[in-house]
Chains A and B, each alone.
Chain A
């Protein structure tokens, strides 16, 4: 390598190293780099070679820690808000601006799409006819989620193959949910409506991962994204709630009822837009702010462990069994999914090379407790099925419970192996990411196969 090239490389390394500091922004680095280069030029003119000049110039620039500490003192706000939507002066990045435009454009697109059915006389209000209600119940995901998929498809410049793969679930799902002759308000219809968004969410992974959905690391990234997206959506919804409350309040003050506008426009369009904007925010800030999902996981893992242990203890002490009603079954499924999420998000943020610690033991207890609860719920469902036969709801609950049982069971085995240092932590991460398609497959089975098996009841 020539001396010049080596020098460029070392300056590049210096830039990266300096850029890791939170208080320093790219404009500051550019300014100091100009200084460094001026200094190097002067030293070389004085007869030093590239290497010597670089070393002396860096030394004169001073210890990067103390320099960035001075920057931090000067710019205390930088330690806080690194998520400014307006780029700071001198560091406008074309990609982030392009993303912003894309996200806002697609959010508007989703909001408009929510209103398109009205052009065909489909209005949402209390006295809308059953056909309209039916239409919205089935199609809201298809009005919003394609825009979310588009956001990532465009951002990641998908290949033609990936575009095709991404569009199949959307087309197939839309045909299935609209064309199948469901018995009005039957169980299979309700199950399809619940599972369509889940099934589409897994399809969006194709776009998010840029077509590399087979890659396990990419899958984990999608898991991280999903958790953050949900949190951002909740936060955006809080803001939206405030907006709606004030809309009511200020128009009430001048004697105008705002309900129709809120119900017809602000509500539905706001939700559609927020879903896209939340995704963009997650993308935008991912390098900047610590992920929230793992932080919440850390807080709630001990509490949920305690809850499950006390619950099991109470069941043993009282001898009361779980009652099998649809809401109860759904509730328990959600609880187990939540336990799985606690596990998944703690894995997503854990350094896979770190030695197992106290929290890992706690998570094993959580998984074991969840397994016990899962078995109890399964037992109740099977008892019910053997008594009254198979129904769509019970079959769906049974399927999810078995999926979770297998997942949590093997997770427990792996966790024991990790804690006894027989296996590296990575095996658990790999198990979870390998398993994700099973959930996707189940969602699609419920959407596509259940109606046929249960004759659209």
Chain B
């Protein structure tokens, strides 16, 4: 299923924070984990992850440390901060709320949903 671009962008921040809440990680591993969690449906352009990580760092939601990979390369590891964990909690509640609201309208049949989305793109 193709996921709307805006939705991908909006979900990127909570997703990255959620993955980091599982433990410290680095860019490539985060991308891989996103693929696993979404069964390969959520495909990001790899390079776009880094500006997001840097923004999170600037806002104090993650902390970055230069370390070394198993192969001895310089690698930047990211760690969730307390502020980051709180931000993640807020985001989770918001997504939950939106999800609940959507469910409340009754479950539409999948193909109907698809047709509507194509309509809204102007065919």
Q: Which residues of A are in contact with B by a Cβ distance under 8 Å?
A: 27-28, 30-32, 34-35, 37-39, 41, 60-64, 66-67, 70-71, 73-75, 90
CA distance A271 to B10 in the complex (A): 56
In chain B, residues 55-109, which have Cβ atoms closer than 8 Å to a Cβ of chain A?
55, 58, 66, 69, 71, 73-76
CA distance A35 to B31 in the complex (A): 10
Q: Which of B47, B48, B55, B69 contacts A38 (CB 8 A)?
A: B69
Q: Which of A35, A74, A75 contacts B28 (CB 8 A)?
A: A35
Q: Are B46 and A60 in contact (CB under 8 A)?
A: yes
A38: chain B residues at CB < 8 Å are 28, 69
A20 to chain B, nearest CB (A): 16
Q: Please give 14 more A-B residue pairs, beta carbons under 8 A apart, in addition to A38-B69, A74-B54.
A: A28-B50, A30-B76, A32-B27, A32-B47, A34-B27, A34-B28, A38-B28, A41-B71, A61-B47, A62-B45, A67-B45, A70-B51, A71-B54, A90-B66
Q: Are A34 and B45 in contact (CB under 8 A)?
A: no
Q: Are B28 and A62 in contact (CB under 8 A)?
A: no
Q: Are B75 and A67 in contact (CB under 8 A)?
A: no
B57 to chain A, nearest CB (A): 10
Query: If A74-B51, A90-B66 touch, does A60 touch B45 (CB 8 Å cutoff)?
Result: yes
B76 to chain A, nearest CB (A): 5
Q: How many residues of B contact A (CB 8 A)?
A: 20
A71: chain B residues at CB < 8 Å are 50-51, 54
Query: If A74-B51, A74-B55 touch, does A30 touch B74 (CB 8 Å cutoff)?
Result: yes
Name, among A60, A64, A66, the residue most crowded by chain B CB atoms within 10 Å (CB to CB).
A60
CA distance A32 to B51 in the complex (A): 11
CB-nearest residue of chain A to B74: A30
Name, among A34, A39, A60, the residue most crowded by chain B CB atoms within 10 Å (CB to CB).
A34
CA distance A31 to B28 in the complex (A): 10
B36 to chain A, nearest CB (A): 13
CA distance A71 to B58 in the complex (A): 13
A226 to chain B, nearest CB (A): 40
B74: chain A residues at CB < 8 Å are 30, 34
B50: chain A residues at CB < 8 Å are 28, 31-32, 35, 67, 71
Q: Are B51 and A35 in contact (CB under 8 A)?
A: no
A318 to chain B, nearest CB (A): 66
Q: Which of A31, A64, A90 contacts B27 (CB 8 A)?
A: A31
A39: chain B residues at CB < 8 Å are 28, 46
Q: Are A62 and B47 in contact (CB under 8 A)?
A: yes
B66: chain A residues at CB < 8 Å are 90
CA distance A64 to B46 in the complex (A): 11
B51: chain A residues at CB < 8 Å are 67, 70-71, 73-74
A70: chain B residues at CB < 8 Å are 47-48, 51
A56 to chain B, nearest CB (A): 11
B105 to chain A, nearest CB (A): 35
Query: If A39-B28, A74-B54 touch, does A34 touch B47 (CB 8 Å cutoff)?
Result: no
CA distance A74 to B58 in the complex (A): 9
A67: chain B residues at CB < 8 Å are 45, 47-48, 50-51
CB-nearest residue of chain A to B68: A34
B99 to chain A, nearest CB (A): 28
Q: Are A31 and B76 in contact (CB under 8 A)?
A: yes
CB-nearest residue of chain A to B66: A90
B31: chain A residues at CB < 8 Å are 35
Q: Please give me the 9 A-B residue pairs with the lowest Cβ-Cβ distance, nearest first.
A: A62-B45, A67-B47, A38-B28, A70-B51, A62-B47, A61-B47, A74-B51, A61-B46, A31-B76
Q: Are B73 and A34 in contact (CB under 8 A)?
A: yes
13 contacts between A and B (CB under 8 A): A27-B76, A28-B50, A31-B50, A31-B75, A38-B69, A39-B46, A62-B47, A63-B45, A67-B48, A70-B48, A74-B51, A74-B58, A75-B54
CA distance A28 to B47 in the complex (A): 11
